[in-house]
Amino acid sequence: MAGRVKQNKSLLLILGALFVITFAIIAFNGYEASAQNRTLHWGSRGNEVSTVQQKLRQWGYYHGFTDGLYGSATYNAVREFQRKNGLRADGVVGKSTWAALGYSAAAAQKPSAPAAANTDVSRGVVRTSQDVMLLARVIEGEAADEPTSGKVAVGAVILNRIRSSAFPNTLAGVVYQPLAFESVANGQVNRPLTNDSISAARQAMAGWDPTGGATFFWNPSKRVSSWIWSRQIIARIGRHVFAR
């Protein structure tokens, strides 16, 4: 009788130990799953978005602010990274994209050497506060009375020029290129800045391009060179015509 009781106690101890081990495994797996990076997409925000932006900037895909906001610039950078690394280019940072970036349990499967971004896209990276102010000054000088989209559009043209091999590859080089901007020639670039122009500069640098890739703009009500009308017009915003 005593032997049977002892045997039953041993069985209970074994069952108890198995229960504890099973619970620990379940808890660990649950923790590991919760620790996985969440899926990111257009509109996401937070530290994980900043992590993606920082990594893509390091590899030459992203050229905006590390602001934790998943907008058009981040979306386009993610898609380019995905295309270069054999992933589905849907702009969504899911499990496979996190792995390719090196930030998940599947990181061992990531490409050993991620493909570099197109060098033309990475020309003249613009990111400092001085860059923001310089771009804002040109926007103020050229588009002070334009709507927000018109201000951002002027900033986008300047940034598009930086990325084009037909223009200087720095912000200062584009802004101060001889006869490039009327406001620089007549001194309007030095007028007092407004918050609208600063905001427009930041939005352009974050990737908003209302023009669709224009590298020229002009006011058709003013006297301009007839040559400019030979360019392909792609947008009209406010008082300006935009072309490439």
Distance separating alpha carbons of residues 135 and 158, to the nearest angstrom: 8
Residue 218's φ and ψ, nearest 5 degrees, are: -160, 160
**pLDDT tens-digit map of 164-208:** 989 998 888 899 998 899 999 999 999 999 999 999 999 998 888
Q: Tell me the pTM.
A: 0.51
User: Does pLDDT of 68 surpass 70?
Assistant: yes
Nearest to 179 by CA among 130, 136, 224: 224
**pLDDT tens-digit map of 112-143:** 344 444 433 344 555 578 889 999 999 999 99
Work out the angle between the directed axes of helices 148-163 and 129-143 (0-180°, nearest 10): 120
User: What pLDDT does residue 152 have?
Assistant: 95
What is the rounded radius of gyration, in angstroms, for the C-alpha atoms of the chain? 27
